[in-house]
Amino acid sequence: MESDYFNKAHYIVVQNSSLVEPYIEQHKDFLRSQWPRNYDVWVRHHHIETFSDWLRKEYQSDENIDEQLYLSAM
């Protein structure tokens, strides 16, 4: 339960960063490609729950990513 609150709070902070904005739709597109039969409501919910982890894993080895963006995904 506590991790659920943390994920939601962290998502709200991260989502409001202009550095993260380009990656939000990319993550939603990823979710849609993995689970094409799910509705947009599911995608939005799952996006909130998994965005930070996805962002961290997806770009942790990318040397071109802005350090501030990487730290915001932590």
* Residues 5-53: tens digit of each pLDDT: 777 777 777 777 777 888 889 999 999 999 999 999 999 999 988 888 8
Length of the chain: 74
Which two structure tokens, joined as six digits, stand for 12?
């709200």
Query: Which band of pLDDT confidence, cut at 50, 70 and 90, is reported for residue 61?
Result: low
Is the pLDDT higher at 68 or at 23?
Answer: 23
pLDDT of residue 59: 74
- Write down the pTM of the prediction: 0.67
69 in helix, strand or coil? helix
Rounded to an integer, what distance in angstroms lies between the CA atom of residue 23 and that of residue 3? 22
